[in-house]
Structure 1
Amino acid sequence: MLIATERLVLRRFRASDAAVLAAYRSDPEVARYQSWDAPFPLERAELAVRNFAAGSPDQAGHFQYAIELAAEPALIGDVYVRLHDNLKQAEIGFTLAPAYQRRGYATEAVSAVLDRLFRLQGLHKVTGECDARNGPSAALFERLGFVREGFLRQQTFIKGEWTDDLIYGLLAGEWLRD
């Protein structure tokens, strides 16, 4: 376990998570605004889980937190962090299985990761980016205090179309104010 909240455990991925990862990433609505296509084959999930497990949340590079329910060990999603080489900035992203959306789990998980990044690791800034059509992700960033710093028109070519991107930023001083 890396982080515990009232309802969740954020931990390193394990090999046994591959089937659940493949299942929620195979949902067309989950994959809609993400870089992968649905279906997400089990073999690809197994490779992804191995790569996730090899990362470190304290070293520059990519790390994926597995989100698990505390009451019943069940993988429900993940939080992605790319820690910059300077160890003072990061990018964050999140994915939640549809059955667990709209219950506050994503807010709780991302908030816990932000707390770790700012309070424990001493980061200066965390950014996030989402497809401009992804209202729930944009709302989550804003609910957590991120400031919309940009609207990039036709920024990303994904799944056969150009999409607009929203850029969000959160400074340590804004997060630590409370």
Structure 2
Amino acid sequence: MLITTERLVLRRFRAADATALAEYRSDPEVARYQSWDAPFPLLRAETAVTNFIASDPDKAGWFQYAIEHPGEKALIGDVAVHLHDNLKQAEVGFTLARAYQKKGFATEAVGAVLDRLFRVQGLHKVTGECDARNAGSAALMERLGFTREGHLRQQTWIKGEWTDDLIFGLLAEEWLLDRAQPDRAERRHPQ
């Protein structure tokens, strides 16, 4: 499994990735809107990586892409895909080490995964969800062409509080149309 972009390689996780995974998931700012707490112990990271390695991107369930920055030979984050049982819909999530945020890496990585999901796997729709306070994640999904489909008030009990969730959706026809008309994509999603 290998997806390459201008600056990144998206690949399967390897056992050696556990240390880097534990490191960026232990950053309180990275973990703030995620389901895990910081610190994220190495043993938990090793277990997670073992599960990531065993998963299949073409079968229903979760698959985690490792985001590698080849110039630095570093694991900088991950993109999660939950493929539904019908193999035509998925949910996507993403995490990036703080040092690599706000540099376009997440947009590049998630965009490459979306391209695979729509063009190679033939999905009909991909959704994304984030804490309503997570402006960065919401903006990333909007840049990629997702439509905000809902605001669920006090939807999730996490880390000792009720949080609002934003729901986003992207249809295959929207993704493919944007890519077929580069001037349209540039107007909708300026860098």
**TM-score band (shorter)?**
over 0.9
Q: Aligned residue for 2:42?
A: 42
Q: Counterparts of 1:95 and 1:86 in 2: how far apart (Å)? A: 26
2:83 is equivalent to residue 83 of structure 1: yes
Q: Aligned residue for 2:33?
A: 33
Q: Aligned residue for 2:4?
A: 4
Q: Counterparts of 2:164 and 2:81 in 1: how far apart (Å)? A: 22
CA shift digits 1:66-107 (9 cap, x unpaired) = 000122321000000000010000000000000000110000
Q: Counterparts of 2:117 and 2:84 in 1: how far apart (Å)? A: 12
The ranges of structure 1 where at least 4 consecutive aligned residues each deviate by more than 4 angstroms after the TM superposition are none
CA shift digits 1:23-49 (9 cap, x unpaired) = 000000100000000000000000000
Q: Aligned residue for 2:184?
A: none
TM-score (norm 1): 0.99
Paired AA for residue 140 in structure 2: L
Q: Give the 5 Å matches for 1:2-151.
A: 2-151=2-151
Q: Counterparts of 1:111 and 1:39 in 2: how far apart (Å)? A: 29
Paired AA for residue 30 in structure 2: V
Gaps of 5+ in 2: 181-191
Tell me the secondary structure at the aligned position of residue 176 of structure 1: helix
Gaps of 5+ in 1: none
User: Percent identity between the aligned chains?
Assistant: 80
TM-score (norm 2): 0.92
Q: Counterparts of 1:23 and 1:74 in 2: how far apart (Å)? A: 12
Q: Counterparts of 1:140 and 1:154 in 2: how far apart (Å)? A: 22
Q: Counterparts of 1:130 and 1:11 in 2: how far apart (Å)? A: 24
